[in-house]
Amino acid sequence: MQRLYRKRIVLGVGGGIAAYKSAELIRRLLEHGAQVRVVMTRGGAEFITPLTLQALSGHPVHMDLLDPAAEAAMGHIELAKWADLVLIAPATADLMARMAQGMADDLLTTLVLATDATVAVAPAMNQAMWRDPATQANLELLKSRGIQVFGPASGSQACGDVGLGRMLEATDLAWCAAESFKRQALTGKHVLITAGPTQENIDPVRYITNHSSGKMGFALAEAAAEAGARVTLVTGPVHLPTPDRVSRIDVVSARDMLAACEAAKPCDLFIASAAVADYRPEVVATQKLKKDPTTGDGMLLQMVRNPDILATIAGRADRPFSVGFAAETEHLLDYATRKLKDKNLDLIVANDVANPSIGFNSEENALTVIDRQQHQTLFAQTSKGKIARQLVAFIAERLNQVQ
């Protein structure tokens, strides 16, 4: 259940009597650290009030596709991007039929079409409706499109019938939601990841650094752990909690980071997402530097190159599969391609940090991955957590092809 920690779950509530279980499901998801937003159909609101689910989730319940306040910011698209999982519970026969036909006639079905998150349904209906060939055909169609199905269970139903069609209990659904994040593409692999900025001291008070927050690297570490890897995260100074099941090593300077990476080897995969300072002051003053009246308004610092961590690790005879990041403000793909070749990398991840919505300290990212054959793969803008899982899955596929 730890896999639910910090996951973003949109809970879709359809129009069935089992909607009363959605209240308990919200509680279970929150208990395990998930963030929950609720989208209800009109039918769902007939069985349980939006106010109840708002009070439990701590957020307004979304119902209207054409809500003027939400649509000003394209509310359904924002929810679609926000979600790591869209869980529809209860999923009625009607709702499953509309999903199977790709309809977008309310907020929930529109969100399902707009999201690239995992979508899961928890069927809830009368046993005869569940057995009907039309429902079973819709079920198979949804499965063929990658939609996960949680349940149903068998037992007494509200109508008095007994059989398959009961929605799973809240505890079981929370467990299924946690399992949906289980990825094992990196089982048995040691993944070494660098994250955050480095700091290069000028004197005991001042240093040179950059704006990297470490969010992307930490998201990658979490995604790699979810994929079954043993993860070592070497990070510069950041204010982020350590992801679950990740071994963290804190460093300050580029030389510290290289030493920590060397000590953490051997590894199967090296992902260098840290924003490492290229230069450091040649001499670090032992006392705070004072203004020198003889130099006027200027101050000269003699700088020397830092070791290139990525090129060093990727250049070893026992090199791991090596993935670099190119954070650029111009000529993004040209500079990234050059870095891929110069540093002997397997993949380079290009990130346009001039765009404030996906630059340093942002909550979202959009990336282009380039391989040695100069094939480009675009990852559209979404949350860093979601794009990290997409990127780790892509890297794992490439890694497993060469090992």
Annotated ligand binding at 310? The verdict is: yes
* 265 marked as part of a ligand binding site: no
Strands 35-40 and 8-13 come out as parallel
160 Rama sector, left if φ>0, alpha if ψ -120 to 50, beta otherwise: left
- Say whether 237 counts as a known binding-site residue: no
User: Coil, strand, or helix at residue 378?
Assistant: strand
Backbone φ and ψ for 388, nearest 5 degrees, come out as -65, -45
In terms of DSSP H, where are the helices of 41-158? 42-47, 50-57, 68-71, 75-82, 93-100, 107-114, 127-131, 133-144
Binding residue per annotation — 215?
no
Q: Is 270 annotated as a binding residue?
A: no
**Which of the following is catalytic: 159, 176, 261, 267?**
159
Q: Which H or E run contains 348?
A: strand 347-352
Residue 339 annotated as binding site: yes
Provide the pairing of β-strand 230-235 with 190-195: parallel
Which residue's entry shows tokens 């070494």? 192
Do 202 and 281 contact (CB within 8 A), yes or no?
yes
Ligand-binding annotation for 325, yes or no, is yes
CA distances 278 to 93, 259, 292, Å, are 59, 16, 27
Element (H, E) at 335: helix 332-342
What's the Cα-to-Cα distance from 84 to each of 240, 344, 354, rounded to whole Å? Answer: 20, 34, 26
Verify whether residue 261 is a known catalytic residue.
no
Q: How far is CA 127 from CA 12, 97, 214, 378, in A?
A: 22, 16, 50, 44
For strands 162-166 and 153-156, give the pairing: antiparallel
Do residues 218 and 248 make contact, with C-beta atoms less than 8 angstroms apart?
no
Q: Is 307 annotated as a binding residue?
A: yes
Q: Order across the sheet with 85-91: list the strands.
A: 35-40, 8-13, 85-91, 118-123, 148-149
Q: How far apart are CA 210 and CA 360, in angstroms?
A: 9
Q: Which residues are annotated as a binding site for CTP?
A: 278, 288, 307-310, 325, 339, 343
Q: Which residues are annotated as a binding site?
A: 278, 288, 307-310, 325, 339, 343
Catalytic amino acids?
159
